[in-house]
Amino acid sequence: MEKTKSHFTIFENKQLKYKRLGLTSPSQIKSFKRKIKSLNRHFKKKKQDGTKQDLLSSFGRGETGLFKFLNKGIKATQFVGVARISNKTITVLPKIFSPSKITKPSEDKAHDEIDANTIKDNIRVFMYMLDVAHFFKNIKQLPVGSFDKIKEMFEFIIRIFANNLFDELKRGVANEYITIEENRPYLKGKLIIKKQILFNVVNKARFYCEHDEYFCNTILNQAFKQAATILHVVTRVSGNKRILGYIINMLEDVDNRHLTPAELNRVKFSRTSERFKPDFTIASQIIQNATYLAVKGKLETFSFMFDMNLLFERFIAQVIQRHSDLIFEGRKINNITNQHHDLHLFKDKENNKAIFLKPDIFIEFDNLWLIIDTKYKKINDENGIKHNITPRDAYQVYAYYHAYLSQLIEKNKSKPLVKILLLYPFHLDNTFAYDPFINKYTFSCTSYFKDSLAIPFSNDVQIYVAVIELKCNENAKKNCNAYSLSIAEKIKKIMQGMK
Q: How far is CA 158 from CA 77, 92, 165, 185, in A?
A: 23, 16, 10, 49
Q: How far apart are CA 30 and CA 89, in angstroms?
A: 18
Predicted pLDDT at 144: 52
Percent of the chain past pLDDT 70, that is, above it, reads 71
- Look at residues 471, 169, 425, 395 and name the one whose alpha carbon lies nearest to residue 308: 425
Q: How far apart are CA 97 and CA 428, in angstroms?
A: 8
pLDDT bucket at 291, cuts 50 / 70 / 90: low
pTM metric for this prediction: 0.76
Predicted pLDDT at 393: 75
Predicted pLDDT at 139: 57
Q: Is the pLDDT of residue 437 over 50?
A: no
Tell me the per-residue pLDDT of 171-230, one tens digit each, with 9 for 90 and over: 988 877 777 888 888 888 888 888 888 888 888 889 999 877 777 888 899 999 999 998
pLDDT bucket at 342, cuts 50 / 70 / 90: low
Predicted pLDDT at 435: 31
Tell me the per-residue pLDDT of 257-282, one tens digit each, with 9 for 90 and over: 888 888 888 888 888 888 898 889 88
In the chain, DSSP finds a helix count (H) and a strand count (E) of 13, 25
DSSP state of 253: T
Q: Residue 434 class from Cβ within 10 Å (0-12 exposed, 13-18 middle, 19+ buried)?
A: middle
DSSP state of 477: G
Q: How far apart are CA 319 and CA 313, in angstroms?
A: 10
Q: How far apart are CA 482 and CA 283, in angstroms?
A: 29
CA dihedral sign, ordered 132, 389, 49, 230: negative
Predicted pLDDT at 38: 79
In 48-184, the DSSP E strands lie at: 67-69, 73-76, 79-85, 88-93, 102-103, 113-114, 176-184
138: left (phi over 0), alpha (psi -120 to 50) or beta: left
Q: Is the pLDDT of residue 101 over 60?
A: no
Tell me the per-residue pLDDT of 295-329, one tens digit each, with 9 for 90 and over: 455 667 788 888 888 899 999 999 999 999 999 88
- Mean pLDDT for 18-30 is 88
pLDDT bucket at 47, cuts 50 / 70 / 90: very low
Q: Is the pLDDT of residue 481 over 70?
A: yes
Domain coordinates in residue numbering, the chain: 2-172+218-308, 176-215, 323-497
Q: Is the pLDDT of residue 446 over 50?
A: no
Q: How far apart are CA 220 and CA 263, in angstroms?
A: 10
Contact 40, 75 (CB under 8 A): no
Predicted pLDDT at 56: 57
How high does pLDDT run on average in the chain?
A: 75
Contact 32, 85 (CB under 8 A): yes
